[in-house]
Amino acid sequence: MDLEQRLAQPDVPEDVREGALEVCRELSWVRHVLETSLVGSGIRFWMVDVPRGVFRVEASGLGGAPGEAMELTEEQVYEVIHPDDRAAARAGELAMKNGETDHFAVEQRLLWEGEWRWVVSRSTVLRHGEDGKPLLLAGAAVDVTELKETEAALERANDQLKEFAYVVSHDLKGPLKTIAMTLQQLRARVDSDGESLGLVQRAQGGVGRATQMIDDLLEYSLLGQQAMSLAPVDLDQVLDGVLDDLAADIVAAGASIDRAELPTVTADGSQMSQLLRNLVANAVKFRGNQPLRLRITADEDEVEHTVSIADNGIGIDEWKLESIFAPFQRGQEGDDKPGTGIGLAICDRIVERHGGRIWAESEAGAGSVLRFTIPKAPPPAGARPT
């Protein structure tokens, strides 16, 4: 006996009957709106009657009309799941049927409208029996085929970009090596104190800078293509290694370093080393005439750690505070310090990939403070921001 037949019985009060029928009409209207809005959305719903082993699925794409439902056996359902994905689907289904979990999600391929489509499927238990085992399951599948295809295309483009960068680097550095060798031979033939020697030395310096710029550009372009290996990283230990690596330059600069305790963050260890090395080396390079003083500190709030590197160097022109993290930018006009202008751009990309921010505070001639943040919640696994 369906609901309308039950309501038609003489023992049902008129007001109850009318009220129930009104609710049924409202529910029917809501269902119609929902089904209409979902047509073409790529979302499919299903329910599973566990005791009967029957799957009730949305029929569109399986030969039925949009909004209609079909009842399938478990065997029929697994026929539309890709053979390589059936094991994971069965494992999740059994875990739910055995009461091990009330929720399950899986990425799999379904045979839909005659082709294999990638979907993200999520299931949940709607009703339990007295023994705690599930009686009714419900779920939805979202079509993510276009997203998967875009990801695959992006992966191919990244691989091609990486290969292109290596080829360009090789093709550009080859002629530079030839020029460098020629200049070295020419230098041996000119007077040791003549004008010709000065010209050769300037040319050698130009070749060296061009080679370094190619290396820096290759490093910058590949940084966004490399997957990060996230793990707890003790920034104090990283800084110890950086200061050891830069010890000769630090001594030559007569620098004194005041450092506070730095935090342990979830990050890529090699990139954190590169970040701190570039920032410390930048402070050493752009020092003033007085002995360099560096202060390295850290702070935190509920969501992120902030690391600051303050110096008493030549400072940064105020109007360039925003642009110095772009490639080939320098902190002051007319600056004759060595370098390619890529170091801070690499720092910016590293911090961005970790979901943080980097900025500078400075006045020309008054030193600088460079700060960066690392979130306490790491970026999603597999994320590869550029």
Cα end-to-end distance, the chain, whole Å: 62
Annotate 255-283 with b (16+ C-beta within 10 A) or e (fewer): bebeeeebbebbbbbebbbbbbbbbbbbb
- Are residues 311 and 186 part of one domain? no
Place of tokens 């963050």: 265
Interval 345-366: pLDDT, tens: 888 888 988 899 999 888 766 7
Task: Give the CATH number, domain containing residue 102.
Answer: 3.30.450.20
Q: Are residues 110 and 179 in the same domain?
A: no
CA distance 301 to 351: 17
Is 60 exceeded by the pLDDT of residue 118? yes
In a domain, 221, yes or no: yes
88 and 192 together in one domain: no
If asked whether residues 284 and 259 sit together in one domain, one would say yes
Same structural domain for residues 304 and 352?
yes
Residues in the chain: 386
The predicted-structure confidence for 257-280, as pLDDT tens digits, reads as follows 999 999 999 998 888 998 998 899
Q: Is residue 29 in some structural domain?
A: no
Q: What is the pLDDT of residue 28?
A: 60
Top-confidence residue, 351 or 50: 351
Statement to judge: residues 363 and 235 lie in one domain: yes
Q: Considering only CA atoms, which of 329, 328, 330, 291 is closest in space to residue 311?
A: 291
Classify residue 63: in a domain, yes or no.
Answer: yes
Say what the pLDDT of residue 304 is: 93
- Does residue 12 lie within any of the structural domains? no
Residue 45 belongs to some domain of the structure: yes
| Domain boundaries, position 283 | 229-386
Q: Which of 44-58, 145-159, 207-221, 348-362 has the lowest mean pLDDT?
A: 207-221
Which residue among 189, 209, 226 closes a domain?
226
Q: What is the DSSP letter of 385?
A: -
Closest Cα partner for 57 from 45, 67, 41?
45
Is position 17 within any domain?
no
Strand order in the sheet with 256-259: 256-259, 293-300, 304-311, 368-375, 358-362
Of 8-12, 178-182, 219-223, 307-311, highest mean pLDDT: 307-311
Are residues 385 and 258 part of one domain? yes
Output the pLDDT for position 386. 40
Whether residues 77 and 204 share a domain: the answer is: no
Domains of the chain: total: 3
- The proportion of the chain whose per-residue pLDDT surpasses 70, expressed as a percent, equals 70
Closest to 96 in 3D by CA, of 57, 41, 136: 136
Least confident span in 34-43, 166-175, 326-335: 34-43
**Which residues, 6 or more positions from 242, have their beta carbon under 8 angstroms from its beta carbon?**
273, 276, 277, 280
Q: Position of tokens 């003033």?
A: 288
User: E strands along the chain, which residues?
Assistant: 43-49, 54-58, 69-73, 103-112, 115-128, 134-143, 230-234, 256-259, 264-268, 293-300, 304-311, 358-362, 368-375
* pLDDT score at 384: 45
- Check which CATH number belongs to the domain holding 253 and give it: 3.30.565.10
CA–CA separation, 313 and 319 (whole Å): 17
The token pair at 9 is 């019985």
Q: Is 359 contained in some domain?
A: yes
- Retrieve residue 95's tokens: 């875990």
- CA nearest to 306, candidates 349, 354, 358, 259: 358
Residue type at 71 in one-letter notation: E
CATH (domain of 170)? 1.10.287
Report the distance separating Cα 372 and Cα 58, nearest Å. 50
Q: What is the CA radius of gyration of the chain?
A: 33
Instruction: Please identify, among 93, 111, 143, the residue that sits at the C-terminal boundary of a domain.
Output: 143
Chain segment 277-316, per-residue pLDDT in tens: 889 988 888 877 788 899 999 999 989 999 999 988 887 7
Q: State the Cα–Cα distance between residues 380 and 36, nearest whole angstrom.
A: 34
Q: DSSP characters for 96-163?
A: HHTTS-SEEEEEEEEEETTEEEEEEEEEEEEEE-TTS-EEEEEEEEEE-HHHHHHHHHHHHHHHHHHH
pLDDT tens sequence across 171-182: 666 777 777 787
Same-domain check for residues 69 and 151: no
Residues 384, 251: one domain? yes
My answer on whether 216 and 328 are in the same domain is no
Please tell me whether residues 107 and 247 are part of one structural domain.
no
In a domain, 31, yes or no: no
